[in-house]
Structure 1
Amino acid sequence: MALLIYTRAHDPAVWAAELKVLAPDLDIRIHPNTGNPNDIEVALVAKPPPGLLKTFPNLKLIHAFGAGVDAILADPHLPRHVPLTRVIDDRLTLAMTEYVLLHVLRFHRQVDTMAANQRNRAWKWLPPVDASERVIGIMGMGTLGMAAAQKLSQFGFQLVSWSRGLKAVDGVTSFHGDEHLDSFLRLCNILICLLPLTPETRGIINRRALSLLPRGGYIINAARGGHVVEADLLHALDSEWLSGATLDVFDEEPLRDAHPFWTHPKVTVTPHNAADSIPAQVAPQIVDNIRRLQQGQPLLRLVDYKRGY
């Protein structure tokens, strides 16, 4: 069985080596050295160029490098009769929880303001805000959202959540569906986006949504850049409606040199590294699905093409 690796975000040779340890029989080919396209039965991909996957007529499985599959689904030529599977990585979940917690506490404990005061040699006492008075809203209550909620609850924050479908979680006031989005947003002092990117969620954090947040709110987006309308976010920051934003993902990546986010005093930019998969930990999942394919067993972590995740 021949497996194709396509990625520009990882070192494909490292992944190939880890896969070979677990499956020495695999014929692994790294794009663009694909050989005969008829040989390719499995494609392990991250952001493949449109039309690439269609060129393999005997493709039987498309496996994503991570949990997000929106870039794969965006391909208008994607062979949707081929099963698409993704990675659910406990370490990735932990890393995302670390990222969310770090930036929630940075805002909650006014770290940026104190850092600015230090640079100005200004000894200023800042009145604290009790965690019980701070409402944190999480958009997206999948594996990542639930893990973040569990950790944040230990600090005594008020937690609310919004998802496309109802997700009941202990200690979290849950909202769902378009009809309850406004009610959710009006509560959020800190808004965390961990949604999958689908046609329904693209641009969901827009001018109207931002205007519904309480004045002085903070945005953390660690999901996909397409969730945020960047011009609308800049307007909300420049008008002093929002206190700030931490952004790990963007419409265009890498972020272009002239983008105003780089130098905006209220924006923290991180280079899409909130969480990433480690090959040695994720390779067993990929090989397991390849073996299942070979043996005619049900595949794990299948993506629903209609739902987009």
Structure 2
Amino acid sequence: MKAAIITPGRDVTEIIDHLEVLDPEFKPEVWPDITNPEDIAVALVWKTTGNILSKFTNLQLICSFGAGVDHLITSTLIPKFVSITRLVDPLLSQSVSSYCLMSIIAYEKNFKDHILNKKKKKWQWKNDKSKPAVGILGIGNIGKTLALELSNLGYRVNGYSTTPKNIDQITHFTGQENLQEFLQASDLLINLLPLT
């Protein structure tokens, strides 16, 4: 079974090195230097369009390096019998969640003003803002991680997604008809919707 790595504009040297450690005999071809696209059964992809993938007529499996796969699932150029998977990386969820937490706390604690005042050698204490209600658009793996961390820190958390979720610590909204209510209930908005 032949495989290809299709990640337009991305250096895949490190990925190939890791794959060779796992299996020295595994030699994927790399886009665009693929000799016979019809021989490829497995495609490891990142930001790849159906236009490119439609050239691989015997494809059986697409594995996305990205969390979002909607663009692959809904593509009319990829046959429905082709299996589509995605990598779920807990480090990605934790990294994005940590970045969002830092931004929320920086806003809540007026870090920007404190930094500006430090440059002026001025100490001006402002009362902290009360904990804002945080709205998270997209309660997938990353959104759920962030929602639980915020809830554990005492924030009120609202989540919005296209499908219903059951997470005890958050108020969940779903469907276009509830979007306005979700937005009105949220002081800060974090967009974790997939770019697909």
* AA partner of residue 155 (structure 2): F
Match of 1:135 in 2: 133
Q: Distance in 1 between matches of 2:56 and 2:100?
A: 39
Q: Distance in 2 between matches of 1:95 and 1:43?
A: 26
* AA partner of residue 99 (structure 2): Y
Q: Distance in 1 between matches of 2:101 and 2:9?
A: 25
Residues 51 and 75, structure 1, Cα contact 8 Å, conserved in 2: no
Q: CA deviation at 1:190?
A: 0.9
Q: Distance in 2 between matches of 1:118 and 1:163?
A: 41
* CA deviations over 1:269-302 (Å, ceiling 9, x no partner): xxxxxxxxxxxxxxxxxxxxxxxxxxxxxxxxxx
Superposition misfits of 4+ residues, deviation over 6 angstroms:
none
Q: Distance in 1 between matches of 2:52 and 2:129?
A: 52
2:180 aligned to which of 179, 182, 205: 182
Q: CA deviation at 1:120?
A: 3.9
Local SS of the residue matching 1:181: helix
Change (3 A) 1:139 1:49: closer
Match of 2:155 in 1: 157
> Which shows bigger deviation, 28-37 or 6-15?
6-15
Match of 1:45 in 2: 45
Q: Distance in 2 between matches of 1:71 and 1:168?
A: 26
Q: Distance in 2 between matches of 1:118 and 1:4?
A: 53
Residues 8 and 31, structure 2, Cα contact 8 Å, conserved in 1: no
Residues 135 and 187, structure 1, Cα contact 8 Å, conserved in 2: yes
Q: CA deviation at 1:126?
A: 1.4
TM-score, scaled to structure 1: 0.58
Is it true that 1:83 corresponds to 2:57 in the alignment? no
Residues 135 and 158, structure 1, Cα contact 8 Å, conserved in 2: yes
Q: Distance in 1 between matches of 2:50 and 2:186?
A: 38
* AA partner of residue 115 (structure 1): I
Local SS of the residue matching 2:24: coil
Change (3 A) 1:180 1:75: closer
Residues 53 and 79, structure 1, Cα contact 8 Å, conserved in 2: no
What is the aligned length?
196
Residues 140 and 193, structure 1, Cα contact 8 Å, conserved in 2: yes
Is it true that 1:109 corresponds to 2:109 in the alignment? yes
Change (3 A) 1:32 1:165: closer
Q: Distance in 2 between matches of 1:141 and 1:38?
A: 38
Q: CA deviation at 1:99?
A: 1.3
Runs (5+) with no aligned partner, structure 2: none
Local SS of the residue matching 1:55: coil
Match of 2:65 in 1: 65
Q: Distance in 1 between matches of 2:74 and 2:108?
A: 37
* CA deviations over 1:165-207 (Å, ceiling 9, x no partner): 2212112122211121111111111111112346xxxxxxxxx
Q: CA deviation at 1:34?
A: 0.7
Residues 137 and 161, structure 1, Cα contact 8 Å, conserved in 2: yes
TM-score, scaled to structure 2: 0.89
Local SS of the residue matching 1:97: helix
Q: Distance in 2 between matches of 1:9 and 1:187?
A: 41
Q: Distance in 1 between matches of 2:94 and 2:119?
A: 33
* CA deviations over 1:251-284 (Å, ceiling 9, x no partner): xxxxxxxxxxxxxxxxxxxxxxxxxxxxxxxxxx
1:166 aligned to which of 164, 167, 174: 164
Local SS of the residue matching 1:104: helix
Match of 1:36 in 2: 36
Q: CA deviation at 1:72?
A: 4.1
Residues 166 and 174, structure 1, Cα contact 8 Å, conserved in 2: yes
Q: CA deviation at 1:76?
A: 5.6
Q: CA deviation at 1:27?
A: 3.2
Q: CA deviation at 1:26?
A: 2.5
Q: Distance in 1 between matches of 2:114 and 2:80?
A: 52
What aligned pairs does 1:113-262 form with structure 2 within 5 A after superposition? 113-131=113-131, 134-197=132-195
Q: What RMSD over aligned residues (CA atoms) do the two structures have, in Å? A: 2.1
Q: Distance in 2 between matches of 1:144 and 1:39?
A: 35
